[in-house]
Amino acid sequence: ELLERSNCYGGSAWAQYHYSKGPLVISARNLGDWFRYMISPGHVDLDLISSRRSAGIESVHVFGDEVEVTYAGLGGGGVGATLTRAKAEDVLRYSVTECGGGRIARGTLVLPRRERMIIGVDDTDSKTTGATWTLIHNIATKVDSLEARYISHSLVQLFPVPTKTQNCVSTVVEFACLPGKAEGMLAKFEALLRRYSVSDETGMAVFRNFDPSALMPYAQRCKHERVLYEDALEAARDAGVQIIMDGQGLIGAVAAIAYCAQPDKSVVPGSR
């Protein structure tokens, strides 16, 4: 997945429309200022056509801990394909052609390969103090760094069990980490959570792989019915989830992982 963070929504929306028509792009979407492309690595010759398909991703190759991406564009799309992206913060190296006017321009960017880390948390508050979603966002913002980028935050509506504080919502956050650089961030995250949680039943779970969808059947159960703690342990074990804090909140923490980067879907309640 290729992730781009934009401070020009209009330009990025235009790029998303055109890039998504390319053969290498499986899907494209945006979450806030993040534009996300699911991509098949490879190389294609783009048939750029003015106003119809004016820009695209020509190639994506992974070389160890680096990813090489080549963009191409016509006119203004060529500016976006070259200097606009070449000057971005995480670009290691780049090679660009002249851009602007009516010419076709190309830019090849070398980016650091990152690994996904997903953290699910639940039960950090009490009947009178705190809110899990705000605490987790604040912690994720605090530990955000070049080595571990804070990418997304989703609230997950769960089945309203009798032990809930108010809304029965767990939280999941997503980080994009440089290989071997995630542990420092995770240790800081845990320390801050232990410091600021006001509950003795906090649950914290970590998923270190790319696709958490194997947890979705369990997560959907948590939206529709009361789930046992033992079910959470089993789901975590089967999916390779690491348990960091093992309070009753682990039930919601494990469920939250399945809804990583799906904030519009995750807030929808299940039927009762």
| Radius of gyration for the alpha carbons in the chain, expressed in angstroms and rounded | 21
**Which pLDDT score is estimated for 164?**
52
15 with 77: CB under 8 angstroms? yes
Helix (H) or strand (E) holding 141: helix 132-143
For the beta carbon of residue 233, count every other beta carbon within 10 angstroms.
16
**Which pLDDT score is estimated for 180?**
93
pTM: 0.93
Residue 245: beta bridge partners? 204
Q: How much is the average pLDDT of 123-127?
A: 87
Identity of residue 154 = S
pLDDT band per the 50, 70, 90 thresholds, residue 74 = confident
Query: In the structure encoding, which two tokens stand for residue 108, read together?
Result: 């090849």
Q: What are phi and psi of 153, to 5 degrees?
A: -145, 130
Q: For residue range 84-107, list pLDDT tens digits in order.
A: 888 899 999 999 887 666 678 888
Instruction: Give Cα 217 to chain centroid, integer Å.
Output: 20
pLDDT band per the 50, 70, 90 thresholds, residue 75 = confident
Architecture of the domain defined by 115-266: 2-Layer Sandwich (3.30)
Q: Is the confidence at residue 191, as pLDDT, over 70?
A: yes
Residue 72: beta bridge partners? 56, 106
**Which pLDDT score is estimated for 163?**
60
Secondary structure tally for the chain: helices H, strands E: 9, 13
- Nearest to 14, CA basis, from 68, 64, 73, 60: 73
**Which pLDDT score is estimated for 151?**
98
**Which pLDDT score is estimated for 86?**
87
159 with 224: CB under 8 angstroms? yes
Q: For residue range 16-73, list pLDDT tens digits in order.
A: 999 999 999 999 999 999 999 999 999 998 888 776 778 899 999 999 999 999 998 8
The span from the CA of 132 to the CA of 206, in Å, is 16
| SS3 of residue 182 by DSSP | helix
- Relative to beta strand 93-96, strand 242-246 is unpaired
Q: Map tokens 């939250």 to a residue.
A: 256
Q: Is the confidence at residue 194, as pLDDT, over 80?
A: yes
For the beta carbon of residue 239, count every other beta carbon within 10 angstroms.
19
Q: For residue range 136-185, list pLDDT tens digits in order.
A: 999 999 999 999 999 999 999 999 876 655 668 999 999 999 999 999 99
- Relative to beta strand 148-157, strand 104-112 is unpaired
**Which pLDDT score is estimated for 272?**
46
Name the percent of the chain lying above pLDDT 90.
77
Domain boundaries, the chain: 2-112, 115-266
Helix (H) or strand (E) holding 222: helix 216-224
200 with 193: CB under 8 angstroms? no
| SS3 of residue 214 by DSSP | helix
Q: What are phi and psi of 140, to 5 degrees?
A: -60, -40
Judged on CB neighbours under 10 Å (0-12, 13-18, 19+), 133 is buried
User: Average model confidence (pLDDT) for the chain?
Assistant: 92
**Which pLDDT score is estimated for 101?**
62
